[in-house]
Amino acid sequence: MIKRRLHNKLNTLLVLDEVQRIPELFAPLRSIVDQHRRNGQKQDQFLLLGSVSIELLKLIIKDIERHLSILTGAKKQVDANILRADRLRQSILKKSLFWKTGQQPMNEYNKQVSPVRK
């Protein structure tokens, strides 16, 4: 019933105040928004207003910070793996080049090292 009433108001901006008092409203709203996104509509006309306790707000902030720290850690790990993969690729290319040309490879201190041959 809530979903039908919400669908009837879709051509206008629907302002819903004190939404925290009607938790059963969120599932139908989510369903409508998801359906519109699948149909290519990028913007719905819902304005949700309400209040939240300071304690709940602190919990929300901590949860967001935890998610951000996880993402930051994952990004650092991905960046490190990309750097390692690039170094490995460069090393393989250098060894391949020196193997084909017969030149002696140089290490990072510009000293000649023995080529690896099998």
At 11-62, the pLDDT tens digits run 677 788 888 888 788 888 888 878 877 877 766 677 888 887 788 778 888 8
* DSSP character string of 4-27: HHHHHTTTS-EEE-SGGG-GGGHH
pLDDT, position 76: 93
- Number of residues written out for the chain: 118
d(CA 27, CA 51): 19
Q: In this structure, what are the phi and psi dihedrals at residue 112, rounded to the nearest 5 degrees?
A: -70, 140
Spatial neighbors of 94 by CB under 8 A, at least 6 apart, are 105
Average pLDDT in the 86-112 region?
73
Spatial neighbors of 17 by CB under 8 A, at least 6 apart, are 49, 50
Name the token pair of 82.
């990309």
pLDDT, position 77: 94
What is the domain partition of the chain in residue ranges? 1-51, 53-118
Spatial neighbors of 2 by CB under 8 A, at least 6 apart, are 24, 25, 28
Query: Is residue 75 very low, low, confident or very high in pLDDT (cuts 50, 70, 90)?
Result: very high
pLDDT, position 36: 76
Residue with the larger pLDDT of the pair 105 and 26: 26
